[in-house]
Structure 1
Amino acid sequence: MPVKPPLPPSAAPSAPASAAPAALPPRERLLQEAMRLFGERGVDAVPTREICAAAGVNPGAIHYHFGDKDGLYAEVLRQPVRGLQAQLDGFDDPALGLHESICRFLRPFLFDDGSCNAQLFFREMQAPSPVFMHTVAQEVGPIFDRFAQLLARHAGLAAPDAAIHQLAMGLQAMAHDYSMTRPMLDAFHPELLADDPLLERTCHRLADWGCALVAYERALHAQPAFSE
């Protein structure tokens, strides 16, 4: 039997995409595609079949790995939260000064890399879903409590009061606002952040304000009306 000559490289059959060694496991593909689609259009607008099709898995894969769509969404939300937790590790170390602690806490909230999880969180902050609120309360709430406890300690208080909790939320909100409204800020006053592309100087300025406000609370609580 005559032997056929080998096919030229351009005509050689290619291996199927599923055989690629770098392919993610089905569970990770579902998370990746769900994050992308939820970020682009919102959770309610994306059917589970579309997620499965995009991930290249059968329609029952979401039930197998996550129970239901809410279970999938909760796990999608936990991915960036775990990254945030890692970035915030040690921000309240007693060996750190107040200014450095505030900088370490605010820094992760200042940057929007345009990723799908940033789009998703922006959507949720406009119209929070029950799954989002539950996940944030469970996963992020304790971090904010630690930040409030840090501020209270430097204000000379045994525990945070309402004003300290408001201060903690206000500082975080200012940092987050720089991230979410950066296009508007650049449009109104492009010179303000032109020399601070990564917002590091802005982070230090916010920490300056935070230290001043903590000092204000310390002085306020030292007045006789508070000590009686």
Structure 2
Amino acid sequence: MTTNAERRRPGRPPGTSDNRDRILETARELFARNGIDKTSIRAIAAGAGVDPALVHHYFGTKQQLFAAAIRAPIDPMTVIRPLRDVPVERIGHVLPTLLLPIWDSEMGKGFIATLRSLLAGSDVTLIRSFLQEVIAAEIGPRIDSPRGTGRLRVQYVASQLLGVVMARYILELEPFASLPVEQIAETIGPTLQRYLTGELPGSV
């Protein structure tokens, strides 16, 4: 006679679905309350009542867990990480060539749906935390000239890109919504680059 224990798939912990849901719920709550930087995997595990190793097993890094918590269809670091190898004077031009094809893809539909949900709900703090603690931390130090302007520069870039998302994918304004991605990238690239490395009025 085969027992329940013998039928269970090896290496699969009991209560997998419940554990995963608790981890995501706890992560979402802690990320929104404390931000990404001040939320540790250990704290999430403690809140969910699981071992930290199980969090890593299900979700990998903290950034990947964040993506899962906000139901993002792609780990944002897969877009941000390649920018490490891009010269500072080219980041503004390269960034839209990375983002726009993703946003235009089937995967991008999931991203737009996630963004709609976050903006319509009470999870705006999650977007703010990601922009300020992940993107600003990744790119900000490279463009922090004059000193202290790095975070503001990233926010200018974010405002431009969120405007593209709003006009092209949410409001679907024509003819902008139907323009080739290459045309949009070529048009906004110089503006993004100016935000990143150009002179900012009011900066010292």
Q: TM-score, normalised by structure 2?
A: 0.53
Contiguous gaps of at least 5 residues in structure 2: 1-11, 29-65
Q: Which residue of structure 2 aligns with residue 89 of structure 1?
A: 81
Q: Which residue of structure 1 aligns with residue 156 of structure 2?
A: 167
Confirm or deny: 8 A CA contact 2:94 2:189 kept in the other structure: no
RMSD over aligned Cα atoms: 4.0
Q: Which residue of structure 2 aligns with residue 105 of structure 1?
A: 95
Q: Which residue of structure 1 aligns with residue 194 of structure 2?
A: 212
Q: Which residue of structure 2 aligns with residue 77 of structure 1?
A: 69
Q: Which residue of structure 1 aligns with residue 20 of structure 2?
A: 65
Mapping 1:24-35, distance limit 5 Å: none
Q: Which residue of structure 1 aligns with residue 184 of structure 2?
A: 202
Instruction: Note the C-alpha offset of 1:205.
Output: 1.6
Q: Which residue of structure 1 aligns with residue 135 of structure 2?
A: 143
How many residue pairs get aligned? The number is 151
Instruction: Note the C-alpha offset of 1:149.
Output: 3.1
**CA offsets 1:115-163 (integer angstroms, 9 cap, x no match):** 334312221122233xx734872697322333333333xxx32342664
CA change 1:85–1:79 in 2 (3 A) is farther
Instruction: Find the aligned partners of 2:128 and 2:71 in 1 and give their Cα distance.
Output: 12
Equivalent residue of 1:89, what SS? helix
CA change 1:104–1:79 in 2 (3 A) is farther
CA change 1:107–1:91 in 2 (3 A) is same
Instruction: Note the C-alpha offset of 1:173.
Output: 2.3
Percent identical pairs in the alignment equals 7
Instruction: Find the aligned partners of 1:139 and 1:164 in 2 and give their Cα distance.
Output: 12
Instruction: Find the aligned partners of 1:82 and 1:116 in 2 and give their Cα distance.
Output: 9
Of the structure 1 ranges 200-209 and 132-141, higher mean CA displacement relative to structure 2 is found in 132-141
Instruction: Note the C-alpha offset of 1:78.
Output: 6.0
Instruction: Note the C-alpha offset of 1:206.
Output: 1.2
Q: Which residue of structure 2 aligns with residue 123 of structure 1?
A: 117
Report the residue type matching 2:113 in the other structure.
Q
